[in-house]
Structure 1
Amino acid sequence: MDQPRTVKPKIIPPTPEEDEAINRGIASDPDTYEWTDENFARARPVWDFPELVEILQKHGKLGRPPLPEAMRKQRVTLHLDRDVLNALKAEGKGWQTRANAALRRALGL
């Protein structure tokens, strides 16, 4: 089962003080530890366990199931005039979806 593509959240790294507090918390908690390179090397994605994926999806914990390969969108680089891009973005989130829909209409698809 393939992992769906997701939007990467903006990552705000902790301050040095916050990082120290996090590491103190890890060190003082007997039920957790910081992963080593060996732990990461042995780790497997949830998608390797279809029965677990099914349970998580049933309980709304995984979002949409991945689309079949033929139906997935393809990432491209596209150069647009600034006014076109500004007009698309002016309507807020979802501008890429709106651009895709406009292209489909223009191409009669």
Structure 2
Amino acid sequence: MKTLKTLDIDKVAAAIEADAGQTLPGLRESLKEARDGHGLAHTPEQIVARRRGRPAGTTQAITKEPVKLRLDADVLAALRASGDGWQTRINDMLRASLRLGGLV
């Protein structure tokens, strides 16, 4: 990590941008953060704490139940096209609809 502390940000950014053939927004800020040690995990404990998924010890208060639901093909395609988390968005839309109808 000593080499990062002496990093010449402008020199490295110029080399990266020359290789890319264009200026890259935010590059110098990202290099500065790397040099200053922001976002780096140094110890095995920090690396384990930063692993993918939910943080240890967090649980949902309400358990979700799997269901089979039939939807029109165009509706399902639009929801899936909206990206990851579409099932959660369906749940949120149904909850909002129930509130509007006074059922929840």
Higher relative contact order, structure no. (Cα contacts within 8 Å, ≥ 6 residues apart)? 1
- What TM-score do the two structures reach when normalised by structure 1? 0.39
Larger radius of gyration: 2
